[in-house]
């Protein structure tokens, strides 16, 4: 249980660091770039340690595509080692794009809507791979999971309802984009985990982080944002906690059933980020948002049953 608690704590720290950076007017894209540089460097060292680059072999796009399309949708299927490498690179590039945008919208969401609501919408992203799993792999949800999905969708609607007559009809676009980009990033992970050799996970993560790094560098150059000492320190901290949140979560899954670990991780992260926002940054939630957060915690637990 100690590994799960560390993963939950590290996940909450990322949100708190972003909130700190937004309050102090730090450079958003510089922090994101340093974050991905740190995560890329660590994941690259892990790839070298496991000698994963030697797994690449002669392969053609047609052979990969034929094997991938011939896999039955109703069962978990592992591609060959060479084609798993192709999938790791291909899905790493795509997922890295979603990771970068999710982090940017996460920062914007924290600045605009607070750490609690931003944390909720990032965790609600699990709905997207869940829905695709039903449509593509026929992984039908149980009645409890279906109840959680409906409750989660209702909480999204509730958060976006505005009872202020002057703001009527206005939708929180940043939070919705955070939900979509986070969810698509999770879906990329789902595709890799379902079809590829899992021993190549560090290789896949390297391409995810490295892709996000390259794109974030281009944004920094376009926006002409400097790399100040404070930006570098916060960004390195985010990158460290970003990578090792996943590291300790994997260790937790070796000790705790996934059906228990995932809902605890999601709900625990939301609770800690909400408490951190209240205690550290003196954030205040309206009744509507507080109810929506409570509904989301229940929904996440139900979805992962």
pLDDT score of 169 = 47
pLDDT score of 180 = 92
pLDDT score of 243 = 82
CB contact at 8 A, 217 and 40: no
CA distance 98 to 167: 30
Determine if the pTM surpasses 0.85.
Answer: no
| Domain count of the fold of the chain | 1
Q: Which domain holds residue 90?
A: 2-303
Residue 4 host element (H or E)? helix 2-23
CB contact at 8 A, 114 and 283: yes
CA distance 266 to 273: 11
pLDDT score of 235 = 92
Compute how many other C-beta atoms are within 10 angstroms of the C-beta atom of residue 217.
Answer: 15
Q: Token pair for residue 277? A: 């926002």
More reliable by pLDDT, 74 or 240: 240
């Amino acid at each position: 249980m100690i590994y799960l608690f560390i993963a939950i704590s590290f996940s909450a720290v990322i949100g708190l660091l972003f909130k700190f950076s937004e309050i102090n007017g730090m450079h958003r894209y510089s922090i994101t770039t340093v974050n991905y540089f740190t995560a890329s460097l660590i994941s690259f060292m892990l790839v070298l340690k496991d000698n994963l680059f030697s797994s690449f072999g002669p392969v053609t796009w047609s052979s990969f595509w034929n094997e991938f399309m011939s896999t039955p949708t109703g069962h978990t299927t592992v591609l060959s080692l060479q084609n798993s490498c192709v999938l790791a690179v291909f899905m790493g590039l795509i997922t890295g794009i979603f990771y970068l945008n999710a982090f940017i919208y996460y920062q914007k969401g924290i600045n605009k809507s607070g750490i609690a609501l931003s944390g909720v919408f990032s965790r609600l992203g699990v709905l997207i791979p869940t829905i695709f799993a039903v449509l593509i792999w026929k992984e039908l949800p149980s009645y409890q999971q279906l109840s959680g999905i409906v409750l989660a969708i209702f909480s999204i609607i509730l958060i976006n309802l505005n009872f202020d007559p002057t703001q009527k009809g206005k939708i929180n676009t940043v939070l919705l984009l955070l939900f979509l980009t986070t969810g698509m990033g999770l879906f990329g992970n789902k595709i890799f985990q379902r079809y590829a050799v899992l021993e190549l996970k560090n290789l896949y993560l390297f391409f995810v982080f490295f892709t996000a790094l390259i794109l974030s560098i281009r944004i920094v150059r376009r926006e002409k944002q400097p790399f100040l000492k404070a930006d570098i320190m916060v960004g390195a901290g985010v990158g460290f906690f970003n990578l090792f949140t996943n590291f300790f979560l994997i260790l937790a899954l070796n000790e705790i059933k996934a059906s228990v670990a995932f809902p605890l991780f999601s709900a625990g992260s939301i609770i800690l980020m909400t408490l951190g926002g209240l205690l550290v940054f003196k954030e205040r939630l309206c009744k509507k948002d507080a109810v929506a957060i409570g509904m989301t915690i229940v929904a996440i637990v139900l979805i992962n049953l």
